[in-house]
Structure 1
């Protein structure tokens, strides 16, 4: 596992924070660990979406050129 050498601070509603920490506690995990997982999942989904978008553009470009 990589060293955790950065801090990410966010502002959010107190009730959201409290609910999140409570849910994390119910599964016996630190809230920070769940946040890291959520961030990794988001980054991966965005990367996949960009790859899919690029593939779609590459697939459609010859059709677009043919119609000009």
Structure 2
């Protein structure tokens, strides 16, 4: 049985929240909020992929 990598769960939840934030910002007609959430999604997903690469290189995955 594989163990859960909790850091990836956290990254996924944060990315999902930011994607929901994009929808809320669009509904509120907030361009600044939508742009901020898009930037946050890109950063969070980038950190997730970077962490996964580092863990793979160290043999932890």
TM-score (norm 1): 0.46
For 1:40 and 1:29, how far apart are their aligned partners in 2? 18
Partner of 2:19: none
Aligned length: 35
CA deviation map 1:9-67 (0-9, x unaligned) = xxxxxxxxxxxxxxx3xx1231111100110111010011000000001118xxxxxxx
Whose radius of gyration is greater, 1 or 2? 1
More divergent stretch after superposition (27-36 vs 41-50): 27-36
Unaligned runs of 5+ in 1: 1-23, 61-68
Structure holding more helix per residue: 2
Partner of 1:35: 35
TM-score (norm 2): 0.51
Alignment root-mean-square deviation, CA: 1.6
Unaligned runs of 5+ in 2: 1-25
Higher RCO (CA < 8 A, seq sep 6+) = 2
